[in-house]
């Protein structure tokens, strides 16, 4: 009888252990930024798509103030969070395990500018790229874009993310390049800032989900789920229809802009291998 009870206890313990392991915990920083909804919604889509092979999951937003750089450090230490999303660079990929799928179809590399109201005259369509490079721009001090733009000989003033709009207003620099989907919500509440209408910078800039280097299961699960929704066409429909990215090319009037193409020296060899897969990248040539 005692042996039966022990076997029963062992069975329950084993079942509970299996149940815990069968539910993948996925914690991310809940920042409160409205643009974050795109990444969280895509994460849910990929996790749901992978449920057939990987089972249940628990997606948890951790409400803690944490910059991009800090979140990468915590993820590298395998503390507080299990996943983050950032623009790629060889340095970041050396420290964290990327899920090699450009979750914004390269949209981060299409940059339009926030400028001060009344200063559109300084950014006419006839401006040369060499002239543009002499005008001071602002970027985050730990953003890959800062290194990309400096490598292309732009005059870059760097600062902390939360201070950049104030720095622009105080004339610490004269334009603030942002990805196509970013500036619209960011200038709300800033009547002295506008979106420049003539120019766009373009460079390859994939954004990836990242996990800790030891978290092979989550990396494989997300690769599987993202690949599945790519092949089914569900990812394209998500990108086209999500409130953060819907109609953003038309809204930005991309077809009317002068485009300056730049090199991105931060791309890893693994990322370069993805450039030939046209399904993964936004195609501006389809814009009418």
60 within domain boundaries: yes
Q: Which domain holds residue 14?
A: 2-103+207-246
**Distance, CA of 217 to CA of 220 (rounded, Å):** 5
Contact residues for 53 (Cβ-Cβ < 8 A; gap 6+) = 221, 224
Q: What is the pLDDT of residues 85-132, one digit of tens each?
A: 999 999 999 999 999 999 999 999 999 999 999 999 999 999 999 999
Please tell me the total count of domains within the chain.
Answer: 1
Using a pLDDT cut of 90, give the percent of the chain over it.
80
The CATH number given to whatever domain includes residue 225 is 3.40.190.10
More confident residue, 40 or 285: 40
Confidence check: pLDDT of 194 > 70:
yes
Tokens 């409400």 correspond to 63
pLDDT at 16: 39
145 within domain boundaries: no
Tokens 């005692």 correspond to 2
Contact criterion met (CB below 8 Å) for 89 and 147: yes
Using a pLDDT cut of 70, give the percent of the chain over it.
91
269 within domain boundaries: no
Contact residues for 158 (Cβ-Cβ < 8 A; gap 6+) = 138, 139, 140, 141, 146
């Amino acid at each position: 009888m005692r042996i039966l009870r022990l076997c029963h206890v062992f069975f329950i313990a084993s079942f509970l252990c299996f149940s815990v392991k069968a539910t993948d915990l996925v914690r991310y920083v809940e920042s409160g930024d409205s643009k974050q909804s795109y990444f969280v919604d895509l994460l849910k889509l990929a996790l749901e798509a992978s449920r057939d092979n990987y089972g249940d999951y628990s997606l948890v937003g951790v409400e803690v103030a944490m910059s991009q750089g800090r979140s990468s450090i915590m993820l590298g230490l395998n503390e507080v969070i299990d996943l983050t999303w950032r623009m790629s660079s060889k340095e970041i990929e050396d420290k964290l395990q990327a899920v090699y799928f450009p979750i914004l179809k390269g949209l981060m590399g299409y940059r339009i500018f926030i400028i001060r109201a009344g200063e559109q005259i300084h950014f006419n369509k006839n401006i040369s790229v060499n002239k543009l490079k002499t005008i001071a721009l602002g970027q985050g001090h730990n953003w890959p874009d800062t290194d990309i733009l400096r490598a292309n000989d732009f005059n870059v003033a760097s600062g902390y993310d939360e201070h950049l709009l104030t720095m622009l207003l105080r004339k610490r620099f004269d334009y603030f390049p942002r990805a196509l989907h970013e500036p619209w919500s960011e200038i709300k509440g800033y009547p002295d800032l506008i979106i420049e209408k003539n120019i766009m910078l373009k460079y390859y800039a994939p954004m990836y989900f990242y996990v800790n280097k030891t978290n092979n299961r989550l990396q494989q699960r997300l690769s599987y789920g993202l690949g599945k929704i790519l092949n089914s066409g569900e990812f394209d429909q998500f990108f086209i229809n999500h409130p953060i990215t819907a109609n953003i090319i038309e809204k930005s009037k991309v077809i009317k802009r002068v485009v300056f193409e730049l090199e991105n020296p931060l791309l890893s060899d693994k990322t370069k291998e993805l450039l030939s897969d046209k399904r993964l990248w936004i195609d501006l040539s389809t814009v009418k």
